[in-house]
């Protein structure tokens, strides 16, 4: 038996009792700037549905009420209610029995270890929610560009998606679209490593693997353009299991495709701008041109006056480089050299600040009023709390006499006013 005086064989006593300092450096820290910017409503306690309502006027040119009412109803909808259920997002954490035993009788005991693990789980929830903000409700975080799969390295169609991947994240593949059937009955692969500079992801068949596993060995039926999803966010049935983010709320065609639409019980084809937002296929446009067009449209048609724009960091850098001769610099007191004060697009008397967000992929950008899109939770706090499903805050691990816990977020994204949100896609040209 190992005790404080008789450590397990081959283990140095001091190394067993006193842990080394830990440097907590993770890409999950902070999450998406845009996710942090949008509002969070905590008024959903006890409710089963999120009820964002969008109101718009019913135009009419007749003084006769009955005719006016008919005219108005035929022109637009006066009020619409999106009904979307709250969805859970989970993160788990644990402290092993060995860590508890080794910290016995020490100041603070294993409390700091538990806090560090719980904080990490909450950070991961923030990371996942940041990913979901730019998804359609299926946990999609990228798609495969590879044409050959006898390699463990996934090349992403949009390298800007690489920031969404983290070591040991569990992945599944969906066919063709995020809501498609899962490859190989939902077989799970793990992120073995990520190259954030090259924009590639190495996968493995097990967690904490020393080396990667060929993609085809994990998913035998894999095909080019398969969609990569976070495991647990989709079951292949076509039903969204997690909150529907911005791309789900903003319609893919600003002119509204033919046929009726049903989105959280609302037919957005009746009023595509006010119910489905502004969309721009910017295949042949430069970034700044597309951003300016979107900002001008929102300002003119929706009276949006608090617009901001989120772009991928590489696109932000490219825009900054092209604007070297067209920006104002400011002196930083106490420092040598000069720096940007901000990247700004001015439209009709309104300034639109452009900021970088690593969760936005390279081919897209978003221009919006942060108050037009919100996160609604059923908790009175941030939206994460200890799971009490079994009556216990913490429970003993099945394979270790340590403790484990589960942190979860229960909420939904809601488009309070989609008309003040612009999605710019398919950016391919220079800024």
Domain ranges of the chain: 140-230
Name the region of 47 (left: φ>0; alpha: ψ -120 to 50; beta: rest): beta
User: How would DSSP label each residue in 130-148?
Assistant: HHHHTSSSS-EEEEB--S-
CA atoms within 13 A on the CB side of 53: 6
**Do residues 193 and 211 lie in contact, with contact meaning Cβ atoms separated by under 8 Å?**
no
Confidence of residue 77 (pLDDT cuts 50, 70, 90): low
What pLDDT is stored for residue 131 in this prediction?
92
Write out the two tokens for 141: 């975080």
Q: Are 370 and 39 in contact (CB under 8 A)?
A: yes
pLDDT for residue 50: 64
In this predicted structure, the answer to whether residue 162 has a pLDDT above a threshold of 90 is yes
**CA separation for the pair 138, 87 (Å, rounded):** 11
Q: How confident is the model at residue 37 (pLDDT cuts 50, 70, 90)?
A: confident
3-state DSSP assignment of residue 218: helix
pLDDT digits (tens, 9 = 90+) for 102-160: 776 566 677 777 788 878 888 888 888 899 999 999 999 999 999 999 999 999 999 99
44: confidence class by pLDDT, cuts 50, 70, 90: low
Give the model's pLDDT for residue 326: 53
Contacts by 25-28, CB closer than 8 A, 24 or more apart? 26/120, 26/123, 26/166, 27/127, 27/163, 27/166, 27/196, 27/358, 28/123, 28/124, 28/126, 28/127, 28/166
Closest CA to 309 of 347, 350, 277, 357: 357
* pLDDT on residue 79: 62
What span, in angstroms and rounded, lies between the C-alpha atoms of 405 and 395? 7
Q: What angle do CA 316, 322, 326 make, to 5 degrees?
A: 110
Regarding predicted confidence, which is higher, 122 or 423? Answer: 423
Q: What is the pLDDT of residue 94?
A: 79
Lowest-pLDDT range, 53-62, 81-90, 307-316?
53-62
DSSP state for residue 326 in the 8-state scheme: G
Q: What is the pLDDT of residue 332?
A: 44
pLDDT digits (tens, 9 = 90+) for 276-330: 889 998 988 888 899 999 999 999 988 888 899 999 998 988 888 877 655 544 4
- Taking 70 as the threshold, does the pLDDT of residue 4 lie above it? no
Cα dihedral 329→332→335→340 (10° resolution)? -40
How sure is the predictor about 374, in pLDDT bands with cuts at 50, 70 and 90?
confident
| Confidence (pLDDT) at 16 | 42
Instruction: Supply 237's token pair.
Output: 């049935």
Question: DSSP per residue over 93-124, as a string?
Answer: EEE-HHHHHHTTTSTTTTHHHHHHHHHHHHHH
């Amino acid at each position: 038996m190992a005790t404080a005086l008789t450590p397990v064989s081959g283990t140095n006593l001091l190394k067993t009792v006193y842990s080394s300092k830990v440097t907590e450096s993770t890409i999950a820290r902070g999450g998406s700037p845009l996710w942090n910017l949008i509002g969070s409503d905590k008024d959903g306690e006890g409710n089963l549905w999120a009820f964002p309502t969008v109101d718009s006027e019913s135009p009419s040119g007749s003084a006769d009420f009955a005719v006016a009412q008919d005219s108005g109803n035929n022109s637009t909808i006066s009020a619409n209610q999106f009904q979307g259920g709250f969805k859970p997002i989970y993160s788990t954490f644990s402290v092993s029995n060995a860590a508890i035993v080794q910290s016995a009788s020490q100041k603070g005991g294993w409390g700091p270890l538990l806090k560090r693990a719980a904080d990490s789980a909450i950070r991961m929830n923030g990371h996942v929610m940041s990913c979901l903000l730019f998804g359609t409700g299926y946990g999609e975080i990228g798609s495969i560009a590879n044409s050959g799969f006898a390699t463990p390295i996934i090349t992403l169609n949009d390298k800007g998606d690489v920031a969404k991947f983290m070591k040991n994240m569990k992945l599944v593949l969906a066919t063709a679209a995020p809501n498609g059937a899962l490859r190989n009955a939902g077989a799970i692969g793990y992120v073995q490593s990520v190259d954030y500079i090259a924009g590639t992801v190495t996968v493995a068949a097990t967690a904490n693997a020393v080396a990667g596993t060929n993609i085809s060995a994990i998913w035998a039926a894999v095909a080019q353009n398969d969609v990569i999803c976070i495991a647990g966010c989709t079951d292949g049935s076509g039903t969204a299991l997690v909150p529907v983010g911005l791309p789900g709320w903003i319609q893919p065609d600003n002119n509204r495709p033919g046929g009726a639409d049903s989105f959280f019980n609302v037919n957005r084809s009746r009023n595509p701008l006010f119910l489905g937002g502004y969309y721009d296929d910017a295949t042949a446009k430069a970034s700044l041109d597309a951003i300016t067009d979107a900002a001008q449209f929102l300002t003119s048609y929706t009276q949006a006056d608090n617009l901001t724009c989120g772009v991928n960091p590489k696109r932000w850098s490219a825009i900054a480089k092209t604007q070297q001769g067209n920006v104002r610099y400011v002196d930083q007191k106490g420092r040598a050299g000069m720096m940007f004060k901000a990247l700004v697009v001015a439209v009709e008397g309104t300034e639109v600040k452009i900021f970088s967000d690593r969760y936005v992929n390279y081919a897209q950008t978003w221009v919006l009023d942060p108050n037009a899109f919100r996160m609604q939770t059923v908790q009175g706090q941030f939206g994460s709390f200890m799971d009490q499903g079994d009556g216990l805050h913490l429970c003993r691990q099945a394979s270790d006499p340590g403790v484990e816990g589960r942190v979860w977020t229960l909420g939904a994204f809601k488009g309070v006013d989609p008309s003040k949100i612009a999605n710019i896609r398919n950016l391919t040209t220079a800024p």
